Structure 1
Amino acid sequence: MSTNLYDFSFNLPNNKPFDMELLKGKVVLVVNTATQCGLAPQFEGLEELHLKYKDKGLVILGFPCNQFGKQEPETNESMVQACAINFGVSFQLLEKIEVNGKNELPLFTWLKANTNHFLFKKIKWNFTKFLIDQNGMPVKRFSPTAKPNKIEPLIQELIG
């Protein structure tokens, strides 16, 4: 059984492993994303948080997912380009994954089991957010409609 974020592995869009050492001692915001979702303008708010806090210890990880309304039809490569061109994204995007079901990324299984949830543990839509502290422990789950700026006070608190 995994005990913290650093027990997991996942891949970059080029299918190479992400270096988990980059997350140690950082506050991490994990988000399941989709470029064609009605909530996609949140990419801009996530990017603002990234730019404002990346040098203070925040890492944002975007996990593209096509499970909700098929709103992430892009390939890993074209998704990265679409996010950069359409939303100015420079925070870390990862390989397209599933967040629910038999093929869900184990990280999301663990996050859902270890955070507050809204009636159901299952992720209901794109842009569900999970905030993780500097020790790799989940702090809070945020609904898809929670705008990134609403998470900022808790990020500031965790960063100190």
Structure 2
Amino acid sequence: MKRIILAGGCFWGVQAYFRDVKGVKHTEVGYANGNKENPTYKEVCNGVATHAEVTLVEYDETVVQLPTLLEHFFRIINPYTLNRQGHDVGVQYRSGVYFESEEDAQVARQFIASRQALSERKFAVVVEPLKNYYIAEEYHQDYLIKNPNGYCHVNLGLLKEDEKNEKN
């Protein structure tokens, strides 16, 4: 299994989306690359902790490769907004790819550079080594399964559209 940590705004929707991507075996939400150990959601939201809300994605690379996961990631984020996705604004909602290997760093940087070359606007997506990661509180895990009418900035219907198009 390989893993990558993605920050794309509110972690509830990012997790709900990636949980259903073929080849993804496990997801969990947490906090990454911040200034303190074991931050709480309240500390992240009020700025005491400077972590990004992230989704850890574990995947079987014989089924899905990192570039495909990054394609999915770019489908659900606005790569131009700094510290914002949807209606969520704040440093914890920044967009980023946090890697654990230099190989993944190169793949992510090349992917983003190729996308950036097609755009006149500058991306606000960072690619950084994972400095720290703390799993979020249990009530945040699979939040949109537990709360089907919960807020989500991600279009969760995109994967269903893919399945429908594959059948046609």
Please identify which structure carries the higher strand content: 2
Q: TM-score range by the shorter chain?
A: 0.3 to 0.5
TM (norm. structure 2) is 0.34
